[in-house]
Structure 1
Amino acid sequence: MDEEQDLREAIFYNKSTTEETVSTILKPETRPKSINTFLYLTAVIADLMAFAAGVSFAWSSPMLPKLDGSKDPDHNPLGRPITPSEASWIAGLVPLGAIFGPMAAGTLADKIGRKRSLLVMAAVMTLSLLTTAFAKIIHLFYISRFLLGTACGSVFSILPLFLVEIAESHNRGTVSCLSGIFVTSGFNFAFIVGPHLSVQNFCLVCISPLVIFIACFSILGAESPIYLASINDEKRLMTSLKKLRNNSAEEIQAEFRSIMKSVEQTDRRKGTIGQIVGSKSLTRALVISLGIIIFQQAAGVSAIISYMQTIFAAAGGSLSPEMYPVIVGTVQTVATALASSLVDRLGRKVLLLASAVGMCISVATLGVYFYLKNHQIQVDMISWVPVLSLVVFMMMFNIGLGPVPWVVIAELFPPNMRSTTTSLASFSCFMSSFIITLVFAAMSLHLGMANCFFVLSLICLCAGAFIFCFVPETKGKSLQEIQRSLEGNTMD
């Protein structure tokens, strides 16, 4: 009875201890005894967008050889081989579009909701792929690829936001990291299936998960409780919570009131960059968010994937070119699945640190191999080192620095700031990826492959130091508790 009285007072009176009292009382009892099937079903359906985005980014790997005439020239939809310059544009317009997509994604998610925003992006991606499937001129390829990129960039802004907001404190990491599995599965799907289909047929196959998503998500998908609270739609908020939770009616009522109270308090502030800069806790959260997302890309994963065949060829690898992306895609999927199962057990910070250290060691090993090879030292006996080093590098990336930053970024901000900051993080991610990929080519030309890898190793070491010193552990904490920890003097 005392706890119930405390809860009523915490909810209906504006005490300074409101959030602490609510979270303390609710935390032990809101942890469900069994898996909430509907919550995970909603997450899996939403993650079909991550799968489609993964396929879209990997599309150029199996399709460019068909367009430049090196493979299956009789079925080239353009009727002629594309030039190297045209190939570069077709491959580059998706990541370029992904830079611009997040700019409007946050505003869209706040205006029409997370669910409808994802459905809009699915429609844009479907239209883009249909255009590519039936395009007969190169400029239609350019337009459709750029639009596809903007939609993919928007997905990486909206989807992490949606997943964090539908999950609970004890399963938030697992639910959020599931999207990484779907992204890497999309890569593998393109690498394995793409080489065996024509450009048109592959584009039509790529539409399949989007059609399934639109049909299932329209009917079964629940809207984010945080968004429904922000527009004061109490009826739909209660319906959403009943679907997404295994809790008792009393616990759902308590969470309903806690969400409404939290949103009411944060909605008094404008969700702008200026507001973030004016707040100590939000500035700290922004520095952490941009820091880990820039380190994610500065570690060179995009460059290494882009130049993987070049790296293996320089190392003297004996595998066929088609096998490299399949190996990498498989490793990425397995590692991300492992991260999803561990992130709510070991914590975000542990996985991020282990990832940074593992990447540092593996890429430094790769640098040593190329250093020995460049100095005419016999390396035939250790020709397996580049393959193992790259496999370990990709595995460690996908255990931590790949999926986990997206979880942390969405957790660090209050509801009214979240869409703005996840969009900013997505923009920073794709912009950093674009720059690093370009810089890596120049670095390898002027510094040599060995020194490039030593530089990446140093960056990974700096990433580990940044994570250790600044990134807070958010495992098992309510979103309100995370905000209070950022306002305090420590980040632990």
Structure 2
Amino acid sequence: MCSCTNKISWSVQLMSACGCSLIYVLGNVIPWRSLALLGNILLLASSIVPCLVHFFGLFFIPESPRWLVKIGRHKEVYATLQRLRGKNVDISHEAANIKVKFKFYLIETEFLMYLKTVGVGLMSLQQLGGVNSITYYASSIFQEVNFSRKVGTISLAIIQIPTVVASVILTDKSGRRPLLMVSATGMCLSGFIIGLSFWLQNLQQWKEISSNLVYIGILVYILTHLIGMGPLPTVLMSEIFPINVKGSAGSLLIFVNNISEWIVTYSFNFMMEWSAAGT
């Protein structure tokens, strides 16, 4: 189950990178109002069609065996597993394994608060690190330091997809924790470089160098975010929680993630007016 969820998480991250790259490229040839209209039309279409397919598909899929175990409908577990695995497959061992694991998870309730703290921390830091402020306002940031918006946004479009693919490979080889540490360190250092560059701009010193430093800082920031803090919190969310709280914990973490994103996106322009270097 975790393996399947991980693949979905990586797929979402990859599709998100493709979408951002496409918008960055189109933004250099289409006026922003037309781009906003096109984006909303595509968003509406991409939301309605999958939802309709999903709605009708729900009538043909069986209940989750783990959910059936959770609510005590043990007899239906075998029928569901047999339908999922095939008529000629022996599912007795898998059914017994699900029941044993569920009992084991119920014993570990004292550990849940720690897991929720880790999950809330990762999902909030994913957004409070400021990635969406850079993603949404990259063009304005480049313009503010007199760097070519076209070069900057196209560079961001080019690096995103290969970085996500590299992240998938690195995660299995190096592990989650090392990638998160490298990612957080890279984001911190690149954020410092961007802030230092704006500070130099305010002092009217090394303008050409500082504008190039902003460009390098933003590229490094996006690269390091995409290899760790971008996809991994969602992947970890699917791995760390036991079955009996996976649904409620996942809802809580997605709520925290979206609220954090809204705070960063809403406050960014006000903070930039206060102090670009400080922001």
Would you call these one fold, judging by a TM-score over 0.5? Answer: yes
- Residue 187 in structure 1 maps to residue 31 in structure 2: no
Q: Name which of 107, 110, 113 aligns with 1:280.
A: 110
Displacement after TM superposition at 1:390 (Å): 0.8
Q: Residue in 1 aligned with 2:138?
A: 308
Secondary structure of the 2:174 match is coil
In structure 1, what is the Cα distance between the partners aligned to 2:93 and 2:193?
A: 53
Amino acid at match of 2:254: S
Q: Name which of 188, 193, 197 aligns with 1:365.
A: 193
Q: Name which of 121, 124, 133 aligns with 1:291.
A: 121
In structure 2, what is the Cα distance between the partners aligned to 1:304 and 1:398?
A: 13
Change over 3 Å in CA distance of 1:348–1:175 after alignment to 2: farther
Question: Contact 2:5–2:238 (CA<8 Å) still a contact in 1?
Answer: no
Q: Residue in 1 aligned with 2:149?
A: 319
Equivalent positions of 1:75-154 (< 5 A) are none
Displacement after TM superposition at 1:414 (Å): 1.2
Question: Contact 1:228–1:236 (CA<8 Å) still a contact in 2?
Answer: no
Question: Contact 1:241–1:256 (CA<8 Å) still a contact in 2?
Answer: no
Displacement after TM superposition at 1:226 (Å): 3.1
Secondary structure of the 1:312 match is helix
Question: Contact 1:177–1:339 (CA<8 Å) still a contact in 2?
Answer: no
Displacement after TM superposition at 1:177 (Å): 2.1
Question: Contact 2:183–2:227 (CA<8 Å) still a contact in 1?
Answer: yes
- Residue 237 in structure 1 maps to residue 237 in structure 2: no
Change over 3 Å in CA distance of 1:222–1:368 after alignment to 2: farther
Equivalent positions of 1:39-438 (< 5 A) are 165=1, 167-168=2-3, 173-192=6-25, 195=30, 199=37, 203=41, 207=45, 211=49, 214-215=52-53, 218=57, 224-230=64-70, 232=73, 233-234=76-77, 235-241=79-85, 249=89, 253-263=92-102, 266=105, 279-320=109-150, 325-381=153-209, 383-438=211-266
Displacement after TM superposition at 1:281 (Å): 0.6
- Superposition CA RMSD, Å: 3.5
Equivalent positions of 1:444-463 (< 5 A) are 444-446=272-274, 448-452=275-279
Question: Contact 2:13–2:164 (CA<8 Å) still a contact in 1?
Answer: yes
Question: Contact 1:303–1:436 (CA<8 Å) still a contact in 2?
Answer: yes
In structure 1, what is the Cα distance between the partners aligned to 2:223 and 2:276?
A: 21
In structure 2, what is the Cα distance between the partners aligned to 1:205 and 1:390?
A: 26
In structure 2, what is the Cα distance between the partners aligned to 1:348 and 1:330?
A: 25
Question: Contact 1:174–1:341 (CA<8 Å) still a contact in 2?
Answer: no
Secondary structure of the 2:118 match is helix
Which consecutive residues of structure 2, in runs of 5 or more, have no partner in the other structure?
none
Amino acid at match of 2:125: F
In structure 2, what is the Cα distance between the partners aligned to 1:180 and 1:208?
A: 16
Secondary structure of the 2:229 match is coil
Deviation readout 1:281-331 (Å, 9 max, x if unpaired): 1010011011111111111112222322221111111233xx655543443
Change over 3 Å in CA distance of 1:342–1:253 after alignment to 2: farther
Question: Contact 1:174–1:343 (CA<8 Å) still a contact in 2?
Answer: no
In structure 2, what is the Cα distance between the partners aligned to 1:341 and 1:408?
A: 16
In structure 2, what is the Cα distance between the partners aligned to 1:206 and 1:374?
A: 42
Displacement after TM superposition at 1:410 (Å): 2.2
Q: What fraction of aligned residue pairs are identical, expressed as a percent?
A: 25
Amino acid at match of 2:131: V
Change over 3 Å in CA distance of 1:228–1:315 after alignment to 2: farther
In structure 2, what is the Cα distance between the partners aligned to 1:214 and 1:263?
A: 33
In structure 1, what is the Cα distance between the partners aligned to 2:39 and 2:191?
A: 38
Change over 3 Å in CA distance of 1:303–1:198 after alignment to 2: closer
Question: Contact 1:303–1:440 (CA<8 Å) still a contact in 2?
Answer: yes
Q: May I ask how many residue pairs the two structures share in their alignment?
A: 268
Which consecutive residues of structure 1, in runs of 5 or more, have no partner in the other structure?
1-164, 270-275, 453-492
Question: Contact 2:139–2:149 (CA<8 Å) still a contact in 1?
Answer: no
Displacement after TM superposition at 1:412 (Å): 1.7
Q: Which has the higher helix share?
A: 2
Question: Contact 2:25–2:154 (CA<8 Å) still a contact in 1?
Answer: yes
Q: Residue in 2 aligned with 1:440?
A: 268
TM-score of the aligned structures, taking structure 1 as reference length:
0.48
Displacement after TM superposition at 1:189 (Å): 4.2
Q: Residue in 2 aligned with 1:66?
A: none
Amino acid at match of 1:414: P
Question: Contact 1:178–1:337 (CA<8 Å) still a contact in 2?
Answer: no
Question: Contact 1:286–1:421 (CA<8 Å) still a contact in 2?
Answer: yes
Q: Residue in 2 aligned with 1:144?
A: none
